[in-house]
Amino acid sequence: KYTSTMIVEPNFKSTQQLYNNINFYNELVKQKDTVLLSEILGINLTEASKLKGFYIEPIKNENEKYEMFNNFIEEVDTTTVKNIDVESFKRAFTIYDYRYHKIKVKAISNTVFEKLSTPIVNSIESNSYFKNQKLINDQNLMQNEKVLQKSLIEVDTLRKIYNEVLIKEADKAETGTSITLAEGTKKTSELELFGESLRLNKELIENNKEKAETTEIVNVVSNFSIVGAEERSLFKKYTFWVATFFMTIMLLIILLRQLDIYLLSYSKK
């Protein structure tokens, strides 16, 4: 048998549907329904008959749980936060909540794998619900980007006007005219505008990052290899370990005999 893996990043809460699809393909393999498999995956009957299993599992990362918990407490109200701690959040964390997932396919042909990634991904991409979720998300991100850019321009304009006022006040001070703004007020206003500018820039960067990450409903991190890797059977693995065990025993016996001979010769001296 041969195996090949693909790593994906599902968006818009499509992970559970992806798991359902992969498990469905695996059931078709078990039932030897090559006709339906070939139709769904867009491969011929011969290629479908070579498929021996479909599997999916999350790529587990404990740090993800803490990151998602931090994001969660930032979004909810303080009352909710008081009732949920990190441990209870982790207990509620499911396999569908992980960011990355590994799809593995087994086959007795090592050339069928490259034909599988497109139909697997399209089974989610073509789903009308997820297409609608992506459309709404795209529109929201675009609108948010416009608002942030407009706000940033307004803040930059205010900073420019404020600096012009400061320059004029400095000129008045040189001619003996009293300064209108107090020194503390000037510093506070300048820092507030600068801080607001930084905040808007940060939000704009995050918005652009989310746009890049949600370009597709399912991001393919790494695709199936063109040629699958040969899978060692359980019998071969068992034979290898048994052979290794007996070789180790034989080596120990030889070493003990050599040690015994050495000790006998040493005692005669």
Q: Phi/psi at 231 (nearest 5 deg)?
A: -95, 125
Q: How far apart are CA 38 and CA 40, in angstroms?
A: 6
Q: What is the pLDDT, as a whole number, of residue 207?
A: 95
pLDDT at 143: 96
What confidence score (pLDDT) does residue 224 get?
93
This prediction has a pTM of 0.74
Element holding 147 (H helix, E strand) = helix 128-174
For position 34, what pLDDT does the model report? Answer: 96
The alpha carbon of 96 is separated from its chain's Cα centroid by a whole number of angstroms, namely 12
Reduced to 3 states (helix: H, G, I; strand: E, B; else coil), residue 98 is: coil
Task: Provide the pLDDT for residue 25.
Answer: 98
Q: What are the DSSP E strand ranges found in 62-131?
A: 101-107
Detail the DSSP E strand segments found in 25-93.
51-58
Each residue's pLDDT expressed in tens, for the chain with a length of 269 residues: 899 999 999 999 999 999 999 999 999 999 999 999 999 999 999 999 999 999 999 998 888 888 888 877 777 666 666 667 778 888 888 999 999 999 999 999 888 999 999 999 999 999 999 999 999 999 999 999 999 999 999 998 888 888 777 777 777 766 655 555 555 555 567 778 888 889 999 999 999 999 999 999 999 999 998 876 777 655 555 566 667 777 778 777 777 777 676 666 656 55
Nearest to 151 by CA among 201, 206, 208, 188: 201
Burial class (CB within 10 angstroms; exposed 0-12, middle 13-18, buried 19+) of 64? middle
Q: Which pLDDT score is estimated for 235?
A: 52
Between CA 247 and CA 208 the distance in angstroms is 60
pLDDT (0 to 100) of residue 240: 61
User: Cα separation of 112 and 133, whole Å?
Assistant: 32
Strands (DSSP E) contained in the chain are 2-10, 51-58, 101-107, 218-222, 229-230
List the structure tokens of 90: 């982790």
Q: What DSSP character marks residue 114?
A: G
Q: For residue 22, how far is the Cα from the chain centroid?
A: 19
